Amino acid sequence: MTDTINIRSDSYKKPKLRKIGVFTSGGDAPGMNAAIRAVTRTALANKLKVIGIRRGYQGMIEGDFMPLRSSDVSGIIQLGGTILKTARSKEFRTPEGRQKAWLQLQNAGIDAVVVIGGDGSFTGALTMSQEYNISFIGIPGTIDNDMYGTDYTIGYETALNSVVCAVDKIRDTAVSHGRIFIVEVMGREAGLLALNSGIACGAEVILIPESKEQHEALKRFLEKGYKSRERSGIIIVAEGDEPGGALKISEEVRRDHPELDVRVSILGHIQRGGSPTANDRINATRMGVAAIDALLDDQKSIMIGLDNGKIVQVPLNKAVKLNHSFNGELLQIQKLLNI
- Active-site positions read 144
Return the sign of the alpha-carbon dihedral for residues 35, 40, 41, 47: positive
**Element of type H or E holding 246:** helix 246-256
CA distances from 199 to 181, 203, 206 (A): 16, 6, 8
Please report how close the Cβ of residue 129 comes to ligand F6P at its closest, in angstroms. Answer: 22
Q: CB within 8 A of 122, min separation 6: which ones?
A: 115, 138, 147, 303, 316, 319, 320
Please report how close the Cβ of residue 195 comes to ligand F6P at its closest, in angstroms. Answer: 13
Nearest residue to 300 (alpha-carbon basis) of 115, 154, 140, 38: 115
Asked if 92 contacts 131 with a C-beta cutoff of 8 angstroms, the reply is: no
Please report how close the Cβ of residue 273 comes to ligand F6P at its closest, in angstroms. Answer: 11
Footprint of ligand F6P (CB under 6 A): 27, 88, 118, 142-144, 186-188, 239, 272
Please report how close the Cβ of residue 162 comes to ligand F6P at its closest, in angstroms. Answer: 12
Rounded to whole angstroms, how far apart are CA atoms 51 and 112?
10
Q: Report the Cα 163 to chain-centroid distance in Å.
A: 14
Q: Which is nearer to ligand F6P, 44 or 270 (CB)?
A: 270
Q: Which is nearer to ligand F6P, 27 or 31 (CB)?
A: 27
Please report how close the Cβ of residue 163 comes to ligand F6P at its closest, in angstroms. Answer: 11
Q: Which is nearer to ligand F6P, 101 or 143 (CB)?
A: 143
Asked if 296 contacts 12 with a C-beta cutoff of 8 angstroms, the reply is: yes
Q: Which is nearer to ligand F6P, 88 or 335 (CB)?
A: 88
Asked if 125 contacts 98 with a C-beta cutoff of 8 angstroms, the reply is: no
DSSP class of 154: B
Q: Which is nearer to ligand F6P, 123 or 338 (CB)?
A: 123
